Amino acid sequence: MTRIALVGSGKVAWQLGKRLTDKGFAVSQVLSRTAEHARSLAEALHATWSDQWSDILPDTDWILIAIRDDVIGVVAEELSHHAPGALATHTSGATPGTVLAPFFKRNGVFYPLQTFSQERRPNWSEIPICVDASTKQDLDVMLHIADKIGQKAYIIDDTQRAQLHVAAVFANNFSNHCFVIAEKILEEKGLSFELLHPLMQETLAKALEQSPFAMQTGPALRGDQDTMQRHLQLLEQHPDWQQVYRLISESIEKEHSS
């Protein structure tokens, strides 16, 4: 892969671009509709840049698309007019790789299963990289690159990746939203969120060591209706939080009563 075009300039594009470059895979070009972001990322990667899809280099080997899910198909169609022979992959966990098939004969997915932030340096040796491709040859190339930039490469098809992504939403996005609610509950009484840090760390440690199902604790598991009613009363000023509390408590009760 001597010519890599990185499409996008968000958090995933930044982290992937830097990791590829660090591991000897030179990103030749950055394309993004936001010119300022494209220029900034391109400068960091020592690449050229453009805010026009039509400017993609026609002899590009690999088009790595790291943009919003809802525009992957539209952007891929435009890119295919100018670099039809390239291998095109996207980085989405929720979007099937087949979304690229109408536009690129060589298509696939290169999905790092992690939440990224520009200000945090990810530990790539621990990040699962899920790959898939339309041909055996391209799949081998994706596996090689995934192995090179990390240590955990997996062949995951569209059906498996869809299940993996919804599981990741529960494990990451939903759990973080619960942290947000917890932080706000404490702020209302002038308490520091740091009070919960040891509890959060222990909860994750136990879930990683054993089955989260076996590690479940709390009033819903015990069927402690009095405690749950008191909690709901404390949340009366926040009906949305009350609803979250009820739904999760009911789910815990059902899972552990079966």
C-alpha gyration radius of the chain: 22
pLDDT in tens, 147-163: 999 999 999 999 999 99
Q: Which amino acid is at 118?
A: Q
Indicate the domain borders of the chain.
4-156, 162-257
Is the predicted pLDDT of residue 20 greater than 80, yes or no?
yes
Burial (CB count within 10 angstroms: exposed 0-12, middle 13-18, buried 19+), residue 257: exposed
Task: Report the chain's mean pLDDT, rounded to a whole number.
Answer: 96
- Whole-number Å distance between alpha carbons of 184 and 160: 36
Single out the residue of 108, 107, 54, 47 nearest to residue 83, CA to CA: 54
Contact 90, 72 (CB under 8 A): yes
- pLDDT-derived band at 219 (thresholds 50, 70, 90) equals very high
Is the predicted pLDDT of residue 192 greater than 90, yes or no?
yes
- pLDDT-derived band at 32 (thresholds 50, 70, 90) equals very high
Contact 39, 19 (CB under 8 A): no
DSSP characters for 209-235? HS-HHHH--SHHHHT-HHHHHHHHHHT
Contact 253, 245 (CB under 8 A): no
- Give the whole-number percent of the chain exceeding pLDDT 70: 100
Is the predicted pLDDT of residue 2 greater than 90, yes or no?
no
Single out the residue of 141, 111, 140 nearest to residue 128, CA to CA: 111
The domain covering 4-156 belongs, at the CATH homologous superfamily level, to: NAD(P)-binding Rossmann-like Domain (3.40.50.720)
pLDDT in tens, 133-150: 999 999 999 999 999 999
For domain 162-257, give the fold: N-(1-d-carboxylethyl)-l-norvaline Dehydrogenase; domain 2 (1.10.1040)
Taking CB atoms within 8 Å and a gap of at least 24, the contacts of 235-243 are: 241/181, 241/185
